Amino acid sequence: MAVSRLLEDVLSAEPVVVGREASIAAHVRAGLDARLRALRAHEAGTRVGEDPEELHQMRVSVRRMRAMLRSARPFLDRDESERLRAELGWLGRALGPVRDLDVLLERLRSEFTGLPGTERGAAEQLVSGLDPEYLRARADMLSALDSDRYQELLELLARATRELPGRGSDVDAASQLRRLVRSQFGKLRKAVERLPPEPADAELHALRIDGKAVRYTAELAEPLLGAPVKRLIKATKGFQDVLGEHQDACVAEERIRALLDGFGPRPDAGIAFAAGRLVEREEVRKADRRARWPESWYALGAAAAEV
């Protein structure tokens, strides 16, 4: 499908750079420009599918653009920014299933490579049950990338890097962004304070999502607020990593059990044994991350206090 003239012009021009005195809307336009370039840079590799990192980076670009638009919503034209955010959400949903399966398959296959030969063969047979789902997910993703809707989204993004309008006061953008970061962290702190002594897996997963909102808001503010926000971003990433590993273990355990169920009420003993070994490892990992996340939360709180 042909690239539009506007998109071609934006990508061939020098990257957008704005000064510290620029408005929040101008910083958003510069951020969209950088992420649009990254999205396009990883699109070809995503289509080929040989290196999962290409899809990962494409999906990260989409997420960061959505988060940036959400964080800066009070300072942007709502009609323009919300339409763009909704379309980025559609693209994220098109990319997500393949990326999630990439992560799961890499995780499971790395687990059973160290098993004895017979057990490894049984584990490979178990995990091969994901292959049809993966092929369907890739077909759906490629269909989305080949669609007119995707081309229209690229056009919207290209236009937004130049024309996305702001709203409200652009005076003292640094103070406005600091308030946004503190407000986002405040939401996360309240969520942590509401947790029971033994949080459910879903509650810890929700914290990770709230942590992403803090991180992406901080990334928008970093050019203006400097070192304290950079430390906050690092601490937030540590918090996300621990909770993300916990969630990955939860998902892996659930999928292993579902794959075993697919073999019926009396699965082959080798397959059942391999599934048990894999589940056991995920349970150990979950318990470890549960024990570690409070420490990462305290580090994040200390970093937030400096902003």
0.85 surpassed by pTM: yes
Residue 174 has a pLDDT of: 84
Residue 166 dihedral angles phi and psi, to the nearest 5°? -95, 175
CATH ID of 172-306, from 3.90.1170.50, 1.40.20.10, 3.30.1370.60, 1.10.3720.10: 1.40.20.10
Contact call for residues 101 and 116 (beta carbons, < 8 A): no
The per-residue b/e assignment along 149-179, b for 16 or more CB within 10 angstroms, e otherwise, is: ebbebbbbbbbbbeebebeeeeeebeebbbe
CA–CA gap between residue 144 and residue 81 (Å, rounded)? 22
Q: Is 7 exposed, middle or buried (0-12, 13-18, 19+ CB in 10 A)?
A: buried
Tens of pLDDT along 66-111? 988 998 888 898 888 999 999 999 999 999 999 999 999 999 988 8
Residue 258 has a pLDDT of: 95
Residue 204 has a pLDDT of: 96
CA–CA gap between residue 102 and residue 110 (Å, rounded)? 12
Residues of the chain with pLDDT under 70: 1-3, 168-171
Residue ranges per structural domain of the chain: 1-170, 172-306
Residue 307 has a pLDDT of: 92
CATH ID of 1-170, from 3.40.50.300, 2.30.30.90, 3.40.50.620, 1.40.20.10: 1.40.20.10
Closest CA to 243 of 293, 287, 282: 293
Other CB atoms within 10 Å distance of the CB of residue 257: 14
Residue 3 has a pLDDT of: 64
- What SS3 class is residue 75? helix
Q: Would 1-170 and 172-306 be classified into the same CATH topology?
A: yes
Q: Which two tokens stand for residue 7?
A: 């998109």
